[in-house]
Amino acid sequence: MSKILFLDLGNGVSGDMFAGALYSLLDSEEQEEFHRLVDGAGLPGVRIVPEAVTKSGIAATKMCVLIDGEEEQAADTEGVSGEAVSAGDRAGEGRAAAPHRETEAAYTSPTSSDDGHPHHHGHSLADIESTIDGLSLNEDIRQTMKAIYASIAAAESKVHGKPVTDIHFHEVGTRDAIADIMNAAVLMKLLSPDEVWATSINVGNGSVHCAHGVLPVPAPATAELLRGLPFRRTEEENPVGELTTPTGAALVKYFVTAFGPGPETTMLASGYGAGTKELPGQANALHAMLGETSGRMDGPAGTGSGAGNIDAANDSKTGTAAGDADNTSSTICELVFNVDDMTGEDLSFAMDCLRDGGATEAYFTPIFMKKGRPGYQVTVLSPVDAREDIIHLIFLHTTTVGLREYETRRAVLTRHYEKRHTSYGDVTVKVSEGYGVRKEKPEYEDLATLAAEHDMGIRELREALKKEL
Check residue 316 and give its pLDDT: 33
DSSP string, 116-150: SPBPPP-EEHHHHHHHHHTSSS-HHHHHHHHHHHH
73: pLDDT confidence band, cut at 50, 70 and 90? low
Check residue 385 and give its pLDDT: 86
Question: Is the separation of the CB atoms in 420 and 372 below 8 Å?
Answer: no
- Bigger pLDDT: 455 vs 213: 455
Q: Which amino acid is at 173?
A: G
Instruction: Kindly state whether residues 460 and 386 are assigned to the same domain.
Output: no
* Arithmetic mean of pLDDT, 269-281: 89
Residue at which a domain ends, from 261, 281, 309: 309
Check residue 419 and give its pLDDT: 86
- The Cα–Cα gap between 349 and 397 comes to 8
Instruction: Kindly state whether residues 174 and 274 are assigned to the same domain.
Output: yes
Asked if residue 318 belongs to a domain, the reply is: no
69: pLDDT confidence band, cut at 50, 70 and 90? confident
* Alpha-carbon distances of 428 from 271, 314, 450, 456, rounded to whole Å: 41, 15, 12, 18
Strands 361-368 and 374-382: antiparallel
305: pLDDT confidence band, cut at 50, 70 and 90? low
Q: Which residues pair with 130 in a beta bridge?
A: none
- CA torsion through residues 98, 284, 2, 33, sign: positive
Check residue 58 and give its pLDDT: 92
Check residue 112 and give its pLDDT: 36
* Arithmetic mean of pLDDT, 257-274: 91
Asked if residue 314 belongs to a domain, the reply is: no
Query: Is residue 434 predicted with pLDDT exceeding 90?
Result: no
Check residue 407 and give its pLDDT: 83
321: pLDDT confidence band, cut at 50, 70 and 90? very low
Check residue 304 and give its pLDDT: 60
DSSP string, 400-426: -S--EEEEEEEEE-EEEEEEEEETTEE
Query: Is residue 326 predicted with pLDDT exceeding 70?
Result: no
- What does the chain come to in residues? 469
283: pLDDT confidence band, cut at 50, 70 and 90? confident
Asked if residue 321 belongs to a domain, the reply is: no
Which residue range(s) make up the domain with 432? 414-465
- The Cα–Cα gap between 446 and 277 comes to 60
**Alpha carbon 142 to its chain's center:** 12
Instruction: Kindly state whether residues 396 and 419 are assigned to the same domain.
Output: no
- The Cα–Cα gap between 64 and 177 comes to 11
Question: Is the separation of the CB atoms in 273 and 5 below 8 Å?
Answer: no
Question: Is the separation of the CB atoms in 303 and 253 below 8 Å?
Answer: yes
DSSP string, 83-114: ----SS-TT--SSPPPSSS----B-SS--B-T
- The Cα–Cα gap between 200 and 412 comes to 27
Query: Is residue 70 predicted with pLDDT exceeding 90?
Result: no
Check residue 306 and give its pLDDT: 58
**Alpha carbon 417 to its chain's center:** 27
* Arithmetic mean of pLDDT, 82-97: 30
Check residue 373 and give its pLDDT: 82
Asked if residue 316 belongs to a domain, the reply is: no
Residue at which a domain ends, from 412, 438, 454: 412
Instruction: Kindly state whether residues 389 and 426 are assigned to the same domain.
Output: no
* Arithmetic mean of pLDDT, 103-128: 51
* Arithmetic mean of pLDDT, 439-445: 91
* Alpha-carbon distances of 156 from 180, 231, 345, 372, rounded to whole Å: 19, 19, 41, 48
Instruction: Kindly state whether residues 27 and 174 are assigned to the same domain.
Output: yes
Instruction: Kindly state whether residues 398 and 424 are assigned to the same domain.
Output: no
Instruction: Kindly state whether residues 397 and 427 are assigned to the same domain.
Output: no
Question: Is the separation of the CB atoms in 397 and 354 below 8 Å?
Answer: yes
Per-chain mean pLDDT for the chain = 80
Q: Cβ neighbours of residue 399 under 8 Å, at least 6 residues apart?
A: 339, 341, 342
- The Cα–Cα gap between 80 and 155 comes to 11
Asked if residue 320 belongs to a domain, the reply is: no
Nearest to 168 by CA among 122, 126, 128, 132: 122
Check residue 97 and give its pLDDT: 35
End-to-end, the C-alpha distance of the chain in Å comes to 25
Asked if residue 204 belongs to a domain, the reply is: yes
| Greatest alpha-carbon span in the chain | 85
68-72, 287-291, 340-344, 413-417: least confident range = 68-72
- The Cα–Cα gap between 134 and 34 comes to 18
Check residue 13 and give its pLDDT: 96
95-110 confidence digits (pLDDT tens): 333 344 443 444 333 3
* Arithmetic mean of pLDDT, 218-245: 87
Check residue 248 and give its pLDDT: 94
293: pLDDT confidence band, cut at 50, 70 and 90? confident
Q: Cβ neighbours of residue 201 under 8 Å, at least 6 residues apart?
A: 9, 12, 13, 226, 229, 230, 231, 232, 244, 249, 252
Asked if residue 95 belongs to a domain, the reply is: yes
127-173 confidence digits (pLDDT tens): 899 999 999 999 999 999 999 999 998 888 888 888 888 877 654 44
Question: Is the separation of the CB atoms in 208 and 219 below 8 Å?
Answer: yes
Backbone angles phi, psi at 251, to 5 degrees: -65, -45
* Arithmetic mean of pLDDT, 255-276: 91
Instruction: Kindly state whether residues 118 and 84 are assigned to the same domain.
Output: yes
Check residue 82 and give its pLDDT: 29
302: pLDDT confidence band, cut at 50, 70 and 90? low
Instruction: Kindly state whether residues 226 and 88 are assigned to the same domain.
Output: yes
- The Cα–Cα gap between 380 and 371 comes to 26
Backbone angles phi, psi at 378, to 5 degrees: -105, 130
Residue at which a domain ends, from 369, 395, 412: 412
Instruction: Kindly state whether residues 147 and 198 are assigned to the same domain.
Output: yes
Instruction: Kindly state whether residues 393 and 261 are assigned to the same domain.
Output: no
Instruction: Kindly state whether residues 421 and 383 are assigned to the same domain.
Output: no
30-34, 112-116, 276-280: least confident range = 112-116
* Arithmetic mean of pLDDT, 287-307: 65
Q: Please report, to the nearest 10 degrees, the dihedral formed by the alpha carbons of residues 392, 396, 398, 403 taken in order.
A: 30
Q: Which residues pair with 63 in a beta bridge?
A: 50
Check residue 17 and give its pLDDT: 96
DSSP 8-state class, residue 165: G
Asked if residue 340 belongs to a domain, the reply is: yes
Check residue 281 and give its pLDDT: 76
Check residue 85 and give its pLDDT: 29
Number of domains observed in the structure of the chain: 3
